A and B are shown apart, each in its own frame.
Chain A
Amino acid sequence: MKFALFTGCVAKGATRELMLSTMKSAEGLGIEFVEMKSAACCGAGVVSEKNPLLADALNARTFAIAEEQNLDLVTICSTCQGILKKTECHVDSDPAYKEKVNSVLQEGGHQYAGGKIKIQHFANVLGTEEGLKLLREKVKRPLTGLKTAAFYGCYVLRPSELSLYENPDDPTGMEEIFEILGATPVYYDSRTKCCGFPIVMMNKDASHDMAGNALIDAVDSGADCVVTGCPLCHLSLDAYQPEIEKMNKKGCSVPILHLPQLVALALGYSPQELGMDTHVVATTGLDKILA
């Protein structure tokens, strides 16, 4: 399997351990990623607040680059995934709009044809028949006994017509991966909810409250760790956990892992190789469970 990798900004910035563990997972699984080094930020739904056409043009340029590489595009961030799918929908559903966007791209030597490439989150790639088969073959250290709670991230679920999950209100894609890795999935209501990150700079208390409610729900459901496919959820749930703990009287302390970290752990990589020592919430408790 070979894909164009759209890293997103956060995997190159505040969650570099996501990039590290993604590449380790790919190495362990024999997946080839070609990094899209000239692709611009997806805009995170924020550039479109200022200028929707600009955001779509930048993302259509990204699709055109993947088309030029003749590779399906893979994201490692739920937000990037949702935003790129939105642009794809806007542009593909309106030929006049596509022409407008392409006229802007032309001078840069790019043209977006549409319908040539798939845009998928890494979790969706792993969830395909081929991906699941690869995982089954390559797991070296089954994560037996690890109770693992998925936190999907809003943008890969809603709107449901753009989601790659069969039932976005009650998805099972990540949990299926956990089971193949040997872990025990924990189902809890908050797994499809918002982490609060988009408003952390606008309404900090509400943001932390939202994240805290999700963490409490996961802990109460017996989770040893929460695993997310979105680096923004990771920042909200991990980097801000000390503030959240202060705010919520009930215990909500739980390590937060990126999905590729969990995958790579089962492939035999050490927590240090996956940057788990850079998390704000210590992941060392997991070593005992997996010992």
Chain B
Amino acid sequence: MATFRIKRYNPEKQPESYYEEFQLDIKPGMTLLDCMNEIKWTLDGSLTYRMSCRSAICGSCAVKANGHSLLACQRQGAHLVKDDETIVLEPLGNMKPIKDLAVDFKPFWDKVDKVNPYLQPDKKAPKEERKQSPDQFRLIDDSSTCIMCGACYSDCNMLEVDDNFLGPAALAKAQRFVQDSRDGKTLERVKYLSKPGGIWDCTHCGECVERCPKPAQPFHRIKEIMTVALDQGVTNNNGARHALSFAKLVKSSGSLNENIIPVETVGFFNIKGLFDLLPVGLRMFFKGKNPPILHKSIDDVEDVKRIYMELDE
């Protein structure tokens, strides 16, 4: 017998959320969603959550189990029971609960809308269908698998501190069009995605990759957009300057010169940006933490330069 500790919330009855415990015998083969259904159908009909397909296709039943988001229909209930014989169920994070485990997806969908999630071809429709080679399709295959379940959005560390971030799902969806060979708005798309709240605000926490129930894996897609943005010359922002400076500095000495990268990231003529670097720079200087003024190259740096010549020129 397992104890399901479920976060309940019904603002029509009381403003605060609370936890309620249900005992359930998890039979072999029951998914977490089967368990939730069993609780609803036999113990408390008022328990509220979203569900539909039961086959990890519709993306409706994402919840937090033991602190992390997942698709309830995709996981075996028995596998989620902790050592203390409990499973804790909570609504997805970074979105407001409506009732019990159902959350308001409006901000999520608004952000997906912002990336223009549809094809914008620059040529008239051909008489036959627009064809793609297998290689062209492969570039957008993974992001096409996103089922918009919100698991990535829920656990994104960046969204916990900045609502303005477009978030992993919208950015993965954006990559699906940025790298679509039939789309004609690549440059416009990466310009928009390079603004504050876009690709360069991703903090690399990897939560979206960990929680994604499909191969969409948003962080990898975000990095693919970054590469396209740099290739397209959309470099007038701190994120792009940081990437370019980083790669250039490693080329010149084999290792990162931490004295130069902050300056090149904010830009030499960005007086305010440079001024903002001062407090931490001075603090580290007076503590003796400033990186050595004379930056030392690694041994055999010529081999690193040769690899750059071969792959990056």
| CA gap between A54 and B223 in the complex, in Å | 14
| CA gap between A280 and B165 in the complex, in Å | 30
Is B84 located at the chain interface by the 8 A CB criterion? no
Which residues of A63-92 have CB atoms within 8 Å of chain B's CB atoms? 82
| CA gap between A243 and B283 in the complex, in Å | 11
Given A46-B243, A206-B158, A240-B280: 9 more A-B contacts, CB < 8 Å: A14-B284, A38-B300, A50-B312, A104-B310, A107-B306, A159-B206, A169-B210, A202-B242, A207-B203
Contact with A along B6-20 (1 / 0, CB 8 A): 000000000000000
| CA gap between A212 and B246 in the complex, in Å | 26
Please, how many residues of chain B have a CB less than 8 angstroms from a CB on the other chain? 64
Residues of A within 8 A of B201 (CB): 199, 202-203, 206
Which residues of A190-224 have CB atoms within 8 Å of chain B's CB atoms? 193-194, 196, 198-199, 201-207, 209-210, 213
| CA gap between A25 and B113 in the complex, in Å | 53
B280, A50: Cβ atoms under 8 Å? Answer: no
Which residues of B132-191 have CB atoms within 8 Å of chain A's CB atoms? 157-158, 160-162, 165
A15 nearest CB neighbor, chain B only: B289
Residues of A within 8 A of B227 (CB): 49-52
Residues of A within 8 A of B266 (CB): 201
Contact with A along B249-292 (1 / 0, CB 8 A): 01000111110001001100000000010011001100111111
| CA gap between A105 and B311 in the complex, in Å | 11
Residues of B within 8 A of A52 (CB): 223, 227
A14, B290: Cβ atoms under 8 Å? Answer: yes
| CA gap between A109 and B303 in the complex, in Å | 9
Q: What are 25 contact pairs spanning A and B, CB under 8 A?
A: A12-B255, A13-B256, A13-B257, A43-B246, A46-B246, A47-B250, A48-B223, A49-B226, A49-B243, A51-B311, A51-B312, A54-B247, A57-B307, A58-B250, A104-B307, A108-B300, A160-B210, A194-B157, A194-B204, A201-B242, A206-B203, A213-B160, A239-B284, A243-B280, A280-B283
| CA gap between A242 and B250 in the complex, in Å | 30
| CA gap between A99 and B306 in the complex, in Å | 18
Residues of A within 8 A of B66 (CB): 169
Residues of B within 8 A of A136 (CB): none
Please, how many residues of chain A have a CB less than 8 angstroms from a CB on the other chain? 66
Is A61 located at the chain interface by the 8 A CB criterion? yes
Where the two chains meet, the residues of B that have a C-beta atom closer than 8 Å to any C-beta of A are: 66-68, 157-158, 160-162, 165, 196, 200-207, 209-210, 223, 226-227, 230, 237-239, 242-244, 246-247, 250, 254-258, 262, 265-266, 276, 279-280, 283-284, 287-292, 296, 298-300, 303-304, 306-308, 310-312
Min CB gap A246→B, angstroms: 10
| CA gap between A57 and B204 in the complex, in Å | 21
| CA gap between A158 and B68 in the complex, in Å | 13
| CA gap between A51 and B298 in the complex, in Å | 21
| CA gap between A54 and B313 in the complex, in Å | 11
Residues of B within 8 A of A41 (CB): 250, 254-256
